[in-house]
Structure 1
Amino acid sequence: MQQYRNKLLGKGCCGTSYTQVTEELQELIFNHVNREHDRVNEHRGSETNPEELQELIFNHVKKDISQSEENRGNLRMTSGSRALEKHKLPSFKNLIDLIIDDTVFNNNFLQMMGGMTSLQSIEIFSSDISVNNTLFDQGICKMLHLQHLEIWANGLMGTLPWCLANLTSLQVLDISYNDFMGNISLSPLKMLTSVQELRLSDNHFHILVSLEPFFNHSKLKNFYGPLPIQPHMSLKELDISINSFHGHIPTEFGAYLPMLQTLNISRNALNGSIPSLFGDMKSLVFLDLSNNLLTRGIPEYLATDCTLLQFLVLSNNSLQGQIFLTNFNLKNFLYLQLDGNHFLRKMPDSLSNYSLEGLYISDDHLVGTLPRWLGNKSCLIDIIMSKSHLEGPIPLGFCQLESLEVLDFSENNIIGSLPSCFPPSSIKQVHLSKNKLQGQLSDGLSNISSLTTLDIGYNHFESNIPDWIDMLSNLTCLILSNNDFQGEMSIRLRKLSQLRLIDLSHNKLFGHIPPCLNITIVTTAFDFVFDSHLVRIIPLREEESVEFTTKTISYSYRGRLLAYMYGIDLSNNKLVGVIPYQIGNLVGIHSLNLSHNNLTRPIPLTFSNLKQIESLDLSYNNLNRKIHSQLVEL
């Protein structure tokens, strides 16, 4: 049933308000129902009795469907079937699966849940649930057949009610990302002996020093919650991330949990060294110790005995010394993230023996030339090695990295020109700023329609902006600042319709500003969608960061801020003539810097449209000093 539900929800139902019943799933969906809608629109389907539905999905419902009898009567299922009765919702007595995502429900509906006694699976996340007690006492705790309960990221508070102990069939329980509190040892969780997966992370539970309350949970395989330091021989997953644990990681940790496959202790305040007995976790596949205060180096036994390890995330600690000894034996190694530490040596050549897909080693003290063997790693997707002391030219072999999507060598000492075949055709982001690169832009860039970011500021590139620049049709960030580009601004720049940031400042460009310089995307609000499901996933690829100057200060914009930032910087060139009035139609722009040029005439009146502008610099030009009254409000 799950695969059909995913398929259905992936067909673009979001944004359409309707009730849909499918023969295959007998499924009812209330999707994006808002208060202004009088009813749920008709949708084709076979006649279905709502009492016989097996799966019910409320997705982004902002209308309280149980607030009044009038509203309840407005919710009708008209898919060729009989409508819901005017003054009540059906009991859904045969319902098996209930999914509630980003939805508002009050006590009336939560009480109605208590009658859904056949439910086996409930998923409620990112929703507004008014009262905890109603949810449990009159709802969930009556569902004795329940096997799967996920109620994460709902802002639930208080202690866990003891009635949860009634759910003796429960196999999966997820209450993470809420505000629950209390002593776990004195909670109903110790009674749920059938549980196989338990997620408690990111709450306010009292720190648990052992797994003793769960010793009777012989089926427990996945645990996400406070730190255990007593043995549990069958545990496979442990996530205690995003808490406030201090002190050392227990030296016996690996010996106590020998069957672990996934271990996440990130985002705490743990100090000391990584225990050598981590090597006893020979089934370990994923290890994340990032964002702590760990010191010393990577223990030898971790690198030699955890042969199944694929993901190693140790970023943002104070680790130092050699990255790996020469005899490490991680045969299945795919992702290595070590950025934000103090490693002093060059990258070990022994990494060339592995089919790496992601390499993240920034903010470190790596020295030496760029490893040539990187050009042989055809599976590499991300190479992020910024803010170090790497030097030498970009190896020709990088042209063969056919899977590469992100390349970041910014803030190093890389020299020479770009290879003529550079970059590979799959690339999406190129970050090479603050190096010592020179010459012309590689013609190889002209064929990269997937490129979204080209950031090569603060180098020594020269010649004109190439005529093929308009072929980068998906480009959103173009940073060419602080180079030696010359010639007229190419009129082809107007064809880059996806641009959000363009920085051509501190070059030798002359002539007029193209009248149709096109950053049309800023005229509409950028739709940045936050997927609540991603709160579970710890991405190895960090948010993209681009440096842009506003109000004479350079800021690094990343993630959501970068997505909402729109700006133009053409300052410190030799541009002449009038400022095109069309720039005033870029109503969503936040930063505009045309200073230190030879622009003339008055400021266009259309600039009064720039209501979102936060930084406007037209200084050091030959503009008319009289400012029109319409522009005073800016």
Structure 2
Amino acid sequence: MATAAVAGATYLPLFSAVLLLISPLIAASSSARAAALPTVAEQPQELLLTFKASLKDSSGALSTWSTSTPYCNWSHVTCTGAGAGDAVSVALSLQGLGLSGDISAASLCRVPGLVALSLASNGFNQTVPLQLSRCTSLVSLNLSSGAFWGPLPDQLAMLTSLTSLDLSGNDIEGQVPPGLATLQGLQVLNLGGNRLSGVLHPALFRNLTRLHFLDLSKNQFLESELPPELGEMGSLRWLFLQGSGFSGAIPQTFLQLEQLEVLDLSMNSLTGALPIGFGLKFQKLLALDLSQNGFSGPFPKEIDKCVMLQRFQVQGNEFTGDLPAGLWSLPDLRVIRAENNLFSGRLPELSTVLSRLEQVQVDNNSFSGGIPQSIGLIRTMYRFSASLNQLNGSLPDNLCDSPAMGIINVSHNSLSGPIPEFKNCKRLVSLYLSGNGLTGPIPASLGGLPVLTYIDVSSNGLTGGIPVELQNLKLALLNVSYNKLAGRVPLSLISGLPAVFLEGNPGLCGPGLPNDDCDAPLRKRQGLALAATVASFVTGVMLLALGAFAVCRRLHGSSSSSSPWKPVLFYPIKLTGEELLASFHDKNVIGRGAFGRVYLIELQDGQNVAVKRMVSSGKPAFRAVNNVMKVLAKIRHRNIAKVLGFCYSEGEVSIIYEYMQMGSLQDLICAPKFTVRWNDRLRIAIGVAQGLAYLHHDCIPRVLHRDLKSSNVLLADGFEPRITGFGIDGVIGEKAYRSSLASDLNYSCYIAPELSCTKKPTHLMDVYSFGVILLELITGKPAEQPALDDSVDIVRWVRRRINVTDGTAQILDPGISRTAEQGMQMQATLELALRCTSVMPDQRPAMDEVVRSLQLLRSPQGPPSTGIAPEP
């Protein structure tokens, strides 16, 4: 869900290009579209002042508008062609002025020569005025992020002079009117970030052949395949369709879009193989984003013909085979993101002179062979991440010789040999090497790297001691658990690290550790440890044998009587197992996560429910699932989504939740413009905290969420949050739960760092996840990748800035219009979020304390506190 925010930052310069594109058309239209001279009673000044009088201008932005000054000299008014004998063209640029109230379009549209109108980024809170259809001289109309709602008026089709129409970032709903196809001169159409629904009419794209820019992104209620007619829009250069519920395959006609510069189809339900020859004619393509879909098959090798390509993003699909060899050598390529696929083969050696690569992320695939020696020599390389693959061999000595290298993650592979000295890694921030077969000592030279903050070398075969030089670093994470380390742990590291980050090294000693006497005979300790290990092993084998026997008996006894699908409903809803199965198709998908897809399903009585379909490798027994679900269904709280029931089949469980029309908090944050007021954000934070505190402290039995993230926070009316997705670990089992969580790197930023090295989950892990959500609300940025120039999660992004001069101003969302009191509330919330996301669990507050802290921040004029009492 972070991808959309990154794309927005990436393509910002394109909007400037769009303005340059249409400005000559605005100027050229002055003579052709000038209205007749107004009467004395309807001079432009009077008409504009009538329009101003209908508005609420609390900031006084239009205070210069008066009859004593020529209207062409008024602020936010631009006149062109005002010479002798020339008709005047008028452009009103009123974006971001805090305007509200009614829009007197009747008087506005009588202003002669009005060719451009922008009311963007205001707070009108009304439907799109039908009378704007009278502004027939308009060439450009921008109502984006203006708090408009309701259907898209058919009457806009009367503005036949339009070349640019922008209604993005509102709450416009219903179908896209086919009548817009009459705007055949349209070059820019932006309807992104609304609530449009239904199927797109083919005629709309068949006629708009002059479009250069089309944005239908973030309209999650669309139920359409990609119209083949889009491929006939030969002038199309920028196409944004991400997050809009598109399904099916990419039409063959898309191969004809030879002018494309940006193609973003991410976060949809698209499936199948890409058309043969995909990329062959995309000579101008700069950015390709197909991420978070269901594409499969090999990736077409013709991608190497996209000689101008800079960003290649295909993560979160089911692509197989090699990544095309020619892709890696494209001269301008900066980003390769292919994580969470089924790619295989070897990673190629690259040209260290010609390559301009900055990020390579290929985690969770099946790549094999060694790490390319060239990776660390590419001078622009900032991030190399290839965890959860089958890479082998040793770590190259030059892996981070690039002067820009900041993040290395090759954890969970089959790498062996020692950790190199890495003396040239002057900008290295994160080093993740866990879950390999590395041996030898931890290099003392790591302590000389000036900005190294995160080190994870757990679950290897490292020997020796922990270098005292590591005390020189300002570490947020040092995980050395489950190695063969021995000796005295530096005192400052013991006091600054959770004990779990040192576990699994019986030879380590120091104050506060199980082995606190560093001078005791080593042999005795080893003998005791060996005896304990053998005893634990024998006991474990016996328990496993008994458990396996019991499970086999249970499965054997129930298999003959179990039907293929077993629905168990805790509320009076009308749904059978067969109906549920029939509803599991791509067009109903509204979300994806580590444990499966979420479907929006309409019941026989018209009620909508959300269904999380989970396929578990653990194959939980029906009786065990039923017992867990009964507990979850009894949870009642205004900030927790109701579990309505579940459906069971062998190896698969589908949980039925109540559905919220407003969608999730993630949808809100990843919208093109996250414009929610601070009071509403605080309301969301308090509600989530109350729900989580109820699970932790008041629910019987107490429940850990373990998968808290913004996509699992649903929003009811008035921004009242409802937590969903809790208790999954109890349904599918701990082993399957951890396996699924480890395979989903998109949401790893919500997971507490100690999860990888502890067997017992705690409520403080949920507190960490909540802290990440708090940071999202404070910054207005998605958790996974908050900024294009910083390929890190939001916790690290904030911590990098918190101690910089004016760093807090960079962190707090600049899009929030706030009072001084609210600014103080935001800073206090930021401090609380930093406590919640502390790398040391014992420094995080409990959720009941978090609730009290947030409630104290609520302003007096805000709604009264709801407490954490259960729902009646």
What range describes the TM-score normalised by the shorter chain of this pair?
A: 0.5 to 0.7
Question: Aligned partners of 2:495, 2:108: CA distance in 1, in Å?
Answer: 55
2:234 aligned with 1:261: no
Query: Which amino acid is 1:348 matched to?
Result: P
Cα deviations by residue, 1:428-461 (Å, 9 ceiling, x for unpaired): 2211111122233222x33222222222222223
Residue pairs, 1:403-482, within 5 angstroms? 403-423=380-400, 424-443=402-421, 445-482=422-459
> Is the deviation greater in 257-266 or in 158-167?
158-167
Q: Residues 278 and 301 of structure 1 are in contact (CA less than 8 Å); yes or no, is this contact kept in structure 2?
A: no
Question: Aligned partners of 1:510, 1:457: CA distance in 2, in Å?
Answer: 21
> Is the deviation greater in 337-346 or in 194-203?
194-203
Cα deviations by residue, 1:303-334 (Å, 9 ceiling, x for unpaired): 22333222221111111112004696333333
In structure 2, do the counterparts of structure 1 residues 505 and 347 end up closer, same or farther at CA, with 3 Å as the change threshold? same
Q: Residues 279 and 305 of structure 2 are in contact (CA less than 8 Å); yes or no, is this contact kept in structure 1?
A: yes
Instruction: Tell me which of 468, 471, 491 is aligned to 1:514.
Output: 491
| Corresponding position of 2:249 | 273
SS at match of 1:120: strand
Cα deviations by residue, 1:360-411 (Å, 9 ceiling, x for unpaired): 1111111112223476761111111110000111121223211111111011
2:216 aligned with 1:249: no
Query: Which amino acid is 1:97 matched to?
Result: H
Instruction: Tell me which of 184, 188, 200 is aligned to 1:222.
Output: 188
Question: Aligned partners of 2:444, 2:346: CA distance in 1, in Å?
Answer: 33
| 1:348 Cα deviation from its structure 2 partner | 2.1
Question: Aligned partners of 2:114, 2:466: CA distance in 1, in Å?
Answer: 66
Question: Aligned partners of 1:518, 1:263: CA distance in 2, in Å?
Answer: 53
Q: Residues 340 and 365 of structure 2 are in contact (CA less than 8 Å); yes or no, is this contact kept in structure 1?
A: yes
Query: Which amino acid is 1:549 matched to?
Result: E
2:754 aligned with 1:549: yes
| Corresponding position of 1:201 | 168
| 1:90 Cα deviation from its structure 2 partner | 5.6
In structure 2, do the counterparts of structure 1 residues 512 and 453 end up closer, same or farther at CA, with 3 Å as the change threshold? closer
SS at match of 2:294: coil
SS at match of 2:242: coil
| Corresponding position of 2:321 | 345
Q: Residues 145 and 167 of structure 1 are in contact (CA less than 8 Å); yes or no, is this contact kept in structure 2?
A: no
Q: Residues 65 and 75 of structure 2 are in contact (CA less than 8 Å); yes or no, is this contact kept in structure 1?
A: no
Cα deviations by residue, 1:273-307 (Å, 9 ceiling, x for unpaired): 11111122211111111111112211125422333
| 1:123 Cα deviation from its structure 2 partner | 2.0
| Corresponding position of 2:810 | none
| Corresponding position of 1:303 | 279
Instruction: Tell me which of 602, 612, 630 is aligned to 2:845.
Output: 612
| 1:249 Cα deviation from its structure 2 partner | 1.4
Residue pairs, 1:308-323, within 5 angstroms? 308-323=284-299
Question: Aligned partners of 2:350, 2:839: CA distance in 1, in Å?
Answer: 43
Q: Which runs of 5+ in 1 are unaligned?
A: 1-63, 76-87, 99-116, 521-529, 568-585, 595-606, 616-634
Query: Which amino acid is 2:754 matched to?
Result: T
Residue pairs, 1:167-246, within 5 angstroms? 167=135, 170-177=138-145, 180-187=148-155, 189-202=156-169, 203-208=171-176, 210=178, 212-213=179-180, 215-216=182-183, 218=185, 220-225=186-191, 227=200, 228-243=204-219, 244-246=221-223
> Is the deviation greater in 420-429 or in 171-180?
171-180
The alignment of Structure 1 onto Structure 2 pairs a total of residues equal to 462
Query: Which amino acid is 1:241 matched to?
Result: S
SS at match of 1:446: coil
Residue pairs, 1:95-114, within 5 angstroms? 95-97=74-76
| Corresponding position of 1:158 | 126
Q: Which runs of 5+ in 2 are unaligned?
A: 1-55, 78-88, 498-667, 675-744, 773-782, 787-791, 800-832, 849-872
Percent of residue pairs identical: 22
Query: Which amino acid is 2:227 matched to?
Result: P
Q: Residues 382 and 405 of structure 2 are in contact (CA less than 8 Å); yes or no, is this contact kept in structure 1?
A: yes
Q: Residues 303 and 327 of structure 2 are in contact (CA less than 8 Å); yes or no, is this contact kept in structure 1?
A: no
Question: Aligned partners of 1:138, 1:393: CA distance in 2, in Å?
Answer: 69
Cα deviations by residue, 1:30-75 (Å, 9 ceiling, x for unpaired): xxxxxxxxxxxxxxxxxxxxxxxxxxxxxxxxxx9959xxxx9xx9
Q: Residues 465 and 487 of structure 2 are in contact (CA less than 8 Å); yes or no, is this contact kept in structure 1?
A: yes
Q: Residues 261 and 285 of structure 1 are in contact (CA less than 8 Å); yes or no, is this contact kept in structure 2?
A: yes
Which of the two has greater helix per residue? 2
Q: Residues 96 and 118 of structure 1 are in contact (CA less than 8 Å); yes or no, is this contact kept in structure 2?
A: no
In structure 2, do the counterparts of structure 1 residues 147 and 518 end up closer, same or farther at CA, with 3 Å as the change threshold? farther
2:360 aligned with 1:362: no
Cα deviations by residue, 1:188-244 (Å, 9 ceiling, x for unpaired): x3344443322223432321153x3352452x2111126543321211010100012
| Corresponding position of 2:363 | 386
Question: Aligned partners of 2:118, 2:456: CA distance in 1, in Å?
Answer: 44
SS at match of 2:381: coil
**Cα RMSD between the aligned structures?**
4.3
Question: Aligned partners of 1:245, 1:376: CA distance in 2, in Å?
Answer: 46
Question: Aligned partners of 2:469, 2:140: CA distance in 1, in Å?
Answer: 57
Question: Aligned partners of 2:390, 2:104: CA distance in 1, in Å?
Answer: 60
Q: Residues 117 and 142 of structure 2 are in contact (CA less than 8 Å); yes or no, is this contact kept in structure 1?
A: yes
Between the two structures, name the one with larger relative contact order (CA 8 Å, sep ≥ 6).
2
Question: Aligned partners of 2:161, 2:487: CA distance in 1, in Å?
Answer: 74
Normalized against structure 2, the TM-score is what? 0.47
In structure 2, do the counterparts of structure 1 residues 216 and 345 end up closer, same or farther at CA, with 3 Å as the change threshold? closer
Q: Residues 429 and 453 of structure 2 are in contact (CA less than 8 Å); yes or no, is this contact kept in structure 1?
A: yes
Query: Which amino acid is 1:224 matched to?
Result: N
Question: Aligned partners of 1:235, 1:97: CA distance in 2, in Å?
Answer: 28
Question: Aligned partners of 1:142, 1:452: CA distance in 2, in Å?
Answer: 60
Question: Aligned partners of 1:457, 1:305: CA distance in 2, in Å?
Answer: 42
2:305 aligned with 1:329: yes
Instruction: Tell me which of 122, 126, 129 is aligned to 2:94.
Output: 122
SS at match of 1:515: helix
SS at match of 1:391: strand
Question: Aligned partners of 2:106, 2:426: CA distance in 1, in Å?
Answer: 56
Query: Which amino acid is 1:200 matched to?
Result: L
SS at match of 2:267: coil
In structure 2, do the counterparts of structure 1 residues 199 and 505 end up closer, same or farther at CA, with 3 Å as the change threshold? farther
Question: Aligned partners of 1:166, 1:285: CA distance in 2, in Å?
Answer: 35
Cα deviations by residue, 1:513-549 (Å, 9 ceiling, x for unpaired): 43377979xxxxxxxxx9999759xxxx989848623
Query: Which amino acid is 1:157 matched to?
Result: N
Cα deviations by residue, 1:457-491 (Å, 9 ceiling, x for unpaired): 22223333322223332234332222233444334
Normalized against structure 1, the TM-score is what? 0.63
In structure 2, do the counterparts of structure 1 residues 246 and 476 end up closer, same or farther at CA, with 3 Å as the change threshold? farther
In structure 2, do the counterparts of structure 1 residues 184 and 589 end up closer, same or farther at CA, with 3 Å as the change threshold? closer
Query: Which amino acid is 1:309 matched to?
Result: L
| Corresponding position of 1:504 | 480
> Is the deviation greater in 314-323 or in 468-477?
468-477
In structure 2, do the counterparts of structure 1 residues 144 and 496 end up closer, same or farther at CA, with 3 Å as the change threshold? farther
SS at match of 2:165: strand
